[in-house]
């Protein structure tokens, strides 16, 4: 996921001229993006952390009520193992910066990676997470941040998942939630030449296309359904069509999280 946002553009150690810089968010999924939104929204709202961003520490310890976290995620607060898996997904997301010198010789590269959440600890009622101080400082410098300062782009392990997402999400943005029939050979060729692109049809559908669709549905901001059929009765030529639906990003917006938090504390105060 390539990004160019003021949080990192304004960092004091900007790359010198003659250096090419690539900034990416790695291992980001739809779920981990939602978890990160909740973690940083609650850290931003935590008055106890109002001055902690001036300490010079790279990470800041933040405590989240387990029940509140589950409420904002819309999951069962009693399923602790599931909550831990959600937090681990956020722990795997990192901001990576690669700096490459433009000089032909000597050519050098430098890689730097920063986790959005460095560590997670849990007890019976709370989760303790270490959040990136620079990001929290940036959020506090904004008058009213509405979300985290980067555009969601999922990170895929499969090149077929990546090609499906790039081709179909763009069609959905153009208002085509249902795609016309496409020859399977066209879909095979989307990522370019590969061993899978020449595999037998049944193998390609079961072992390549179906796992790619599952990965897109699990990791991205769209959900895809696929139908395959012969071009004519008895024909070996197959075509496929896709139904695409974009997931609702409302749950990542801070206005939504603020409203849900207020409702949570109102209901908590009303308990006998």
| H-state helical runs in 50-111 | 66-73, 80-91
Structure confidence at residue 9 (pLDDT) = 46
| Strand, helix or coil for residue 192 | coil
Structure confidence at residue 145 (pLDDT) = 83
Instruction: Please give the class, per CATH, of domain 6-147.
Output: mainly alpha
Structure confidence at residue 1 (pLDDT) = 34
**Residue tagged 């990416």 (tokens):** 24
d(CA 229, CA 215): 22
Structure confidence at residue 58 (pLDDT) = 87
Structure confidence at residue 7 (pLDDT) = 47
| The CA-based dihedral angle spanning residues 5, 224, 40, 128, taken in that order and rounded to the nearest 10 degrees | -140
Q: At what angle do helices 66-73 and 80-91 cross, to 10 degrees?
A: 80
d(CA 199, CA 208): 9
Structure confidence at residue 52 (pLDDT) = 67
The residues of the chain that CATH labels 1.10.10.10 are 159-246
**Full pLDDT tens readout for the chain, 272 residues:** 333 344 444 443 444 556 778 888 889 999 999 999 999 999 999 887 777 666 678 899 999 999 999 999 999 999 999 999 999 999 999 988 888 876 666 667 888 889 999 988 988 899 999 999 989 888 888 877 888 887 788 889 889 999 999 988 888 877 777 888 999 999 998 888 777 777 888 999 999 999 999 999 999 999 999 999 998 888 888 999 999 998 988 888 999 999 999 999 998 876 55
Q: Residue 19 has what DSSP assignment?
A: E
Q: Residue 14 has what DSSP assignment?
A: P
d(CA 238, CA 229): 6
Is 83:124 a contact under the CB 8 Å cutoff? no
Which CATH topology does 159-246 take? Arc Repressor Mutant, subunit A (1.10.10)
């Amino acid at each position: 996921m390539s990004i160019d946002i003021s949080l990192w553009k304004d960092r004091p150690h900007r790359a010198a001229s003659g250096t090419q810089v690539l900034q990416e968010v790695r291992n980001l999924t739809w779920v981990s993006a939602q978890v990160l939104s909740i973690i940083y929204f609650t850290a931003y709202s935590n008055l106890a952390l109002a001055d902690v961003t001036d300490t010079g520490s790279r990470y800041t310890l933040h405590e989240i009520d387990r029940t509140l976290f589950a409420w904002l995620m819309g999951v069962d607060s009693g399923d602790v193992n599931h909550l831990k898996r959600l937090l681990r997904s956020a722990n795997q997301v990192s901001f990576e910066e690669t700096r490459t010198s433009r000089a032909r010789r000597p050519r050098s590269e430098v890689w730097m990676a920063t986790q959005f959440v460095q560590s997670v600890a849990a007890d019976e009622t709370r989760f303790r997470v270490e959040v990136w101080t620079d990001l929290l400082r940036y959020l506090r410098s904004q008058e009213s941040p509405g979300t985290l300062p980067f555009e969601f782009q999922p990170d895929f392990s499969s090149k077929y998942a990546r090609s499906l997402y790039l081709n179909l999400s763009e069609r959905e943005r153009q208002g085509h939630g249902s795609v016309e029939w496409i020859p399977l050979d066209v879909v095979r060729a989307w990522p370019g030449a590969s061993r899978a692109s020449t595999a037998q049809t049944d193998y390609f559908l079961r072992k390549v296309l179906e796992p790619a669709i599952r990965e897109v549905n699990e990791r991205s901001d769209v959900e895809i359904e696929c139908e395959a059929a012969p071009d004519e009765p008895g024909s070996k030529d197959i075509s496929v069509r896709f139904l695409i639906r974009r997931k609702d990003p409302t749950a990542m917006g801070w206005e939504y999280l603020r409203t849900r938090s207020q409702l949570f504390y109102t209901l908590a105060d009303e308990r006998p």
